[in-house]
Structure 1
């Protein structure tokens, strides 16, 4: 008898085909965002749940899950939407999907940098609304990336790929992480032991740290004030790392030239102030949104489920 897996969102066709082949899959063909009550109801008799970051598994939700549920195999690298301590206490196995989205997220980070620096959203709006009148030496002047200093806050997998891609723009790489990387992973990047030490060396700041109590609103007014005037901040990690009010204030005052954002607090109900800023280049959380990456994420989640139901240790266990 095949294990029963509740899938909370519409997944790529190839991933759902494998799910139907190997499991009794409870799919979500309409891609409805389930409430906590709906998840608990639909999980009755299920052996595992395959959710995305959009579903919140709080301690209360985990306590109310049916006893049949053995695992939560996330379709995401981040797992801050799951109360890991509650899952451990309940005996649930929790997994994520690291590695496979590093390239796509790094690509998106470069897009955020370029889009913010070269005023892409402003320019496109001018063309679409027929407000573009003529060429002028002072028209739509932005910031050049080539040869600038890039600071990376969180030099994990995505941060290292971002650094590698940015070297194509002859950027000087600076970074902060909990520990200095070995030389072969640093690839010439300059380590700074504290976020405060990193900020003065950033013409561009790319945020790539994980969401945790320690990083909550890490990029606040005090940290932003240490950035050089005219710096550009981009975030493709998690919205909770940024103090929205502080970032908006710095963009309004001109201390920061621009920001490129793909993630936010309270998505999709983002801070309204962002929408009013012409110097904010805004994307709708699409860092991993390539066909190749979304397929790979799904297969990685299924690899973890296969291991769990075969009695093996899943490769990407986080609880």
Structure 2
């Protein structure tokens, strides 16, 4: 394979510098401008590609993989999460899967802090009042939010992004707590000023803000179910920049409407673009369109990682960001 010019099919348009470099290196097949490929178009792309470059919006299940034919050998996912791909089924068919980890760490952590500030300081409500002309001057009791300094932040998932959130939170004077499958090294805990909770339930009941930073896996689906959400304080805030499936969105919506949870900042949603319409109506909720990693720098770096994974594979080696079923 080292001397073969691979056929690379991309499912969504990528930043110009990424597409230009891919075009120099591979036989590049780009889609027309527009939304994601439908299932038939995705199946056709998989049938003609040596390498498929999908995004998190492309669901590649066992049935699609079974009909892919013999040509497809690498799925180089443009994104860190691979819950859109049946990695086990791909592995069984001899198809390698890679991703782009670590690129969006700082950008997503920035967005988590932006949502924390937006919800606790009621920034969208103030913005709406200015745009509609409803603001008529300063008032001692208008738009009263909460001070961040001294509040307890509970970070669910203390990987790369969780630790980046912790560093930012510490600078804002937040008291950092975390729940993770494995406790961090004591030196790292000291550097982050973070307190570990073995019990997620106990942490949820004691913190003022929850930041979700775990990946979506079978074990994290609805990790924050109705029972756990009810453990949170009535004046607590929840922020999710990870995956929408981790939270029971219907339960969260009910509790936000009844005041059992004070507010939420959601960059991701359980049904992707199918945002719960009841959430849109709530003034104590900030909704964003999955833009946590949306920086020019980050998206170009993601493309560069995809290219490295493809070139390494083409040279007959294991891609540096290869994903194995055993690691999920």
| TM-score bracket for the superposition, by shorter chain length | over 0.9
What's 1:8 paired with? 11
Q: Distance in 2 between matches of 1:252 and 1:43?
A: 44
The question of 1:198 aligning with 2:203 is answered yes
What's 1:48 paired with? 51
Number of aligned residue pairs: give it: 319
The question of 1:95 aligning with 2:88 is answered no
For structure 2, list consecutive stretches of 5 or more residues without a partner in the other structure: none
CA RMSD of aligned residues (A): 1.1
Among 167, 170, 176, the residue aligned to 1:167: 170
Structure 1 residue matching 2:210: 3-state secondary structure: strand
Among 248, 255, 265, the residue aligned to 1:250: 255
Among 51, 71, 74, the residue aligned to 2:77: 74
What's 2:270 paired with? 265
What's 1:26 paired with? 29
Matches within 5 A, 1:94-243: 94-186=97-189, 187=191, 188-243=193-248
The question of 1:286 aligning with 2:291 is answered yes
What's 2:317 paired with? 312
Whether the aligned pair in 2 keeps the contact of 1:40 and 1:66 (CA below 8 Å) is no
Residue 197 of structure 1 deviates from its aligned partner by 2.0
1:7-65 CA-to-partner distances (Å, cap 9, x unmatched) read: 00010111101100100010124143101210121333310100100100011111111
Whether the aligned pair in 1 keeps the contact of 2:45 and 2:52 (CA below 8 Å) is no
Q: Distance in 1 between matches of 2:306 and 2:269?
A: 25
Q: Distance in 1 between matches of 2:298 and 2:149?
A: 28
Moved over 4 A (4+): none
Q: Distance in 1 between matches of 2:231 and 2:110?
A: 27
Structure 2 residue matching 1:6: 3-state secondary structure: strand
1:130-162 CA-to-partner distances (Å, cap 9, x unmatched) read: 111222111111122122111000111100000
Among 61, 83, 86, the residue aligned to 2:86: 83
Q: Distance in 1 between matches of 2:95 and 2:101?
A: 19
The question of 1:62 aligning with 2:65 is answered yes
Q: Distance in 1 between matches of 2:76 and 2:234?
A: 43
Structure 2 residue matching 1:126: 3-state secondary structure: helix
For structure 1, list consecutive stretches of 5 or more residues without a partner in the other structure: none
Q: Distance in 2 between matches of 1:63 and 1:184?
A: 47
Q: Distance in 2 between matches of 1:107 and 1:20?
A: 32
Normalising by structure 2, we get a TM-score of 0.95
Residue 276 of structure 1 deviates from its aligned partner by 1.1
Normalising by structure 1, we get a TM-score of 0.97
Q: Distance in 2 between matches of 1:193 and 1:213?
A: 20
